[in-house]
Amino acid sequence: MTLCNVRRLLRIGQYVCPGLVLLLAWLAWRRPLVHIGIIFAMTAAAAAIAIWLVLHLAVRRVQSACDEQSELGNQLIQSQKILALGEISTGIAHEINNPLNIIMQEAELVRADLEMDVNPEALHEIKESLEVIIRQVERCSDITHKLLDFARKRVPISQPANLNRLMEDMLDLLERGGGPGNVEIVKAFDPLLPMVKTDPPLLRQVFLNLLINAVQAMEESGGFLYVTTYVDHAQVCVEVRDTGPGIPQENLERVFNPFFTTKEPGKGTGLGLSVSVRIVSQLGGDMAVRSEKGSGAAFTVCIPITA
Amino acid sequence: MDRVRVLVVDDEADFLKLIKRRLEKRNVEVSVAPGGREALDHLAGQPTDVVILDVRMPGMSGIDTLKEIRKRYRETEVIMLTGHGSVQSGIEGISHGAYDYMLKPFNIDDLLERIRAACERARLKKAERERA
């Protein structure tokens, strides 16, 4: 029982208890023993006042405890928001500052080259520097694009979809792109998987992201990519599991946070999974991760059949 | 359902001619454009349900064309066409809001099925907008 419920009970009690005592006094008054009735009525009135006072004080105490509890809750939410905002700001600063730094160095090199006699060798260097600058600007633009994508409010358009087919298409795209390399794909699709009403392009984006992450996790070591579909509690679920190095326990809760990444600089902005989890939530589904260090990671996307 | 209006964008003239003939046989209204800029000009004047867009084209790339279409015509769906050497662009296309993709060479009935699904989505989007 919460403190607020206790407060409600006491509030009812503060009217009911004195009321009962006064009722007893009234009954005694109606009997022939009038004097005893008067004494009893006075005692009852005094008791009622005392009970009311005690209850009133108790209610005040409980109310103050409830207010304190609610205030603490608000403060906790606020501090979590500030923490998340701090992590996002640090992420943006880090992601943008790296390419900006390279752009600055290259631009300075170009200026130095131009200040000297421009011979063919210097011209070649200038051209190389300009190419690096263009690449880094594209990198910045990619980050801002992903940020906008993360913040964008999507309105899902529901269409009947077969998740086996959606996943098969994404695996096909990955395989024909030469993506998996030394990774072997093992499919275990439920052939009786029911259709779901969902937003196919949004879900393709989520599946592709999970597949690319899994392949990247096994890029050096190689391994197996298990893709499984099944029905669980009126939901259609898709699991993407790799046999890569896994995610340490301390990072498991943060993998869905924006800008959280363990990839090398320039290889990932840390927005892919946070965008994916937002999409799945907007589709009325759930996304979960389980992993143990050294034994791979498994991401599961579940979409309600009735959605 | 009304006749589906499709715009096919590819720099291969022979492919455009062929796909136009095959889709028209299946009761699809087909227009063609040899590049991204021409596609945008066409869309400015002709309402279109679905754009079939090659990712690798000289001049304005498929991805840049997709970005422009997404910006200007939210109710028009885009299906990307990718070859072996441009799968990465196909992946990029999906993350930039393409409805679907097709790998070349493709089966015409498979393409038609995807066109119908994309068209249905365009219709649902329009209905959603009119309700709002």
Mean predicted lDDT score pLDDT of chain A: 81
**Chain A residues near any Cβ of chain B (below 8 Å):** 149, 155, 157-159, 169, 172-174, 176-179, 200-201, 204-205, 208-209, 212
pLDDT of residue A145: 73
Which band of pLDDT confidence, cut at 50, 70 and 90, is reported for residue A84? low
Task: Note whether residue B132 is domain-resident.
Answer: no
Residues 6+ apart with CB under 8 A from A119: none
A169 and A225 in a common domain: yes
Alpha-carbon distance of A58 to A54, in angstroms, equals 6
Alpha-carbon distance of B22 to A90, in angstroms, equals 54
pLDDT of residue A31: 63
Task: Note whether residue A91 is domain-resident.
Answer: no
- Rounded to 5°, the CA angle A73-A74-A75 comes to 90
Task: Note whether residue A93 is domain-resident.
Answer: no
- Rounded to 5°, the CA angle B51-B53-B54 comes to 165
Give the domain CATH number at B121: 3.40.50.2300
Task: Please state the rounded mean pLDDT for residues A277-289.
Answer: 92
Task: Note whether residue B22 is domain-resident.
Answer: yes
A177 and A144 in a common domain: no
Residue B65 near residue B72, CB atoms below 8 Å: no
Task: Note whether residue A50 is domain-resident.
Answer: yes
Task: Please state the rounded mean pLDDT for residues A150-160.
Answer: 80
pLDDT of residue A71: 74
CA distances from A230 to A163, A280, A302 (A): 10, 17, 9
At residue B50, what are phi and psi to the nearest 5 degrees? -135, 135
> Could you report the predicted ipTM of this complex, rounded to two decimals?
0.75
A108 and A26 in a common domain: no
pLDDT of residue B39: 96
Q: Which residues from chain B sit within 8 angstroms of residue A209, using beta carbons?
A: 95
Report CA torsion sign: A123, A128, A129, A130. Answer: positive
Strands annotated E in chain B: 5-9, 29-33, 50-54, 77-82, 100-103
CA distances from A96 to A86, A102, A217, A254, A258 (A): 15, 10, 24, 21, 14
Asked if residue B105 has a cis previous peptide bond (ω within 30° of 0), the answer is: yes
Residue B76 has pLDDT above 60, yes or no: yes
Is residue B121 within 8 angstroms of chain A, CB to CB? yes
Task: Please state the rounded mean pLDDT for residues A20-43.
Answer: 69
Task: Please state the rounded mean pLDDT for residues A53-64.
Answer: 81
Task: Note whether residue B45 is domain-resident.
Answer: yes
Alpha-carbon distance of B8 to B115, in angstroms, equals 11
Number of domains into which chain A is organized: 3
Residue A170 near residue B82, CB atoms below 8 Å: no
Which band of pLDDT confidence, cut at 50, 70 and 90, is reported for residue A56? confident
> Residue B104 sits in which domain range?
5-125
* pLDDT: which is higher, A278 or A45: A278
pLDDT of residue A248: 86
Q: Which residues from chain B sit within 8 angstroms of residue A159, using beta carbons?
A: 117, 120-121, 124
Task: Note whether residue A85 is domain-resident.
Answer: no
Q: How far is A3 from chain B (nearest CA, A)?
A: 43
Which band of pLDDT confidence, cut at 50, 70 and 90, is reported for residue B31? very high
Alpha-carbon distance of A83 to A75, in angstroms, equals 12
Q: How far is CA B48 from the centre of its chain?
A: 9
pLDDT of residue B21: 92
CB contact under 8 A, B99 and A157: no
pLDDT of residue B33: 96
pLDDT of residue B107: 87
CB contact under 8 A, B103 and A172: yes
A298 and A185 in a common domain: yes
Q: Which of A109, A130, A151 is the last residue of a domain?
A: A151
pLDDT of residue A80: 64
pLDDT of residue B35: 95
Residue B128 has pLDDT above 70, yes or no: yes
Q: How far is B109 from chain A (nearest CA, A)?
A: 16
A168 and A297 in a common domain: yes
A297 and A164 in a common domain: yes
Alpha-carbon distance of B64 to A281, in angstroms, equals 29
Task: Note whether residue A251 is domain-resident.
Answer: yes
Helix (H) or strand (E) holding A259: none
Give the percent of chain A with pLDDT over 70.
79
Is residue B88 within 8 angstroms of chain A, CB to CB? yes
Which band of pLDDT confidence, cut at 50, 70 and 90, is reported for residue A104? confident
Is residue B110 within 8 angstroms of chain A, CB to CB? no
A297 and A179 in a common domain: yes
Q: Tell me the CB-side half-sphere exposure of residue A175, using CA atoms within 13 A.
A: 10
Record the tokens describing residue A103, joined without a space: 């752009």
Task: Please state the rounded mean pLDDT for residues B22-44.
Answer: 94
Q: Name the pairing type of β-strands A223-232 and A183-188.
A: parallel
Record the tokens describing residue B51, joined without a space: 């754009």
Mean predicted lDDT score pLDDT of chain B: 89
Give the domain CATH number at A178: 3.30.565.10
- Among all residues of chain A, which has the CA nearest to that of B104? A176
Residue A53 has pLDDT above 90, yes or no: no
> Which residue among A157, A173, A204 places its CB closest to the CB of B124?
A157
Residue A295 near residue A278, CB atoms below 8 Å: no
Task: Please state the rounded mean pLDDT for residues A146-153.
Answer: 71
Q: How far is B63 from chain A (nearest CA, A)?
A: 13
pLDDT of residue A48: 75
Q: Give per-residue pLDDT as tens, A222-272.
A: 899 999 999 998 999 999 999 999 988 888 878 888 777 776 655 666 778
pLDDT of residue A14: 65
Number of domains into which chain B is organized: 1
Determine if residue A246 is left, alpha or beta; phi over 0 gives left, psi from -120 to 50 gives alpha, anything else beta: left
Record the tokens describing residue A106, joined without a space: 């290259």
> Residue A60 sits in which domain range?
3-79
Amino acid identity of A87? Answer: E
Alpha-carbon distance of B17 to B21, in angstroms, equals 6
pLDDT of residue A199: 93
pLDDT of residue B78: 96
Highest mean pLDDT among A59-63, A84-88, B2-6: B2-6
3-class DSSP state of A99: helix
Task: Note whether residue B84 is domain-resident.
Answer: yes
A271 and A176 in a common domain: yes
Strands annotated E in B10-129: 29-33, 50-54, 77-82, 100-103
pLDDT of residue A197: 93
Alpha-carbon distance of B110 to B76, in angstroms, equals 20
Task: Please state the rounded mean pLDDT for residues B105-114.
Answer: 89
A147 and A235 in a common domain: no
CB contact under 8 A, B91 and A159: no
A205 and A68 in a common domain: no
A291 and A181 in a common domain: yes
A272 and A208 in a common domain: yes
Beta bridge partners of B80: B53, B101
Residue A90 has pLDDT above 80, yes or no: no
Q: Give per-residue pLDDT as tens, A176-208.
A: 766 667 899 999 999 999 999 999 999 999 999
pLDDT of residue A51: 79
- Residue where the block lists tokens 């990671």: A297
pLDDT of residue A133: 86
> Which residue among A173, A174, A201 places its CB closest to the CB of B99?
A201
Task: Note whether residue A164 is domain-resident.
Answer: yes
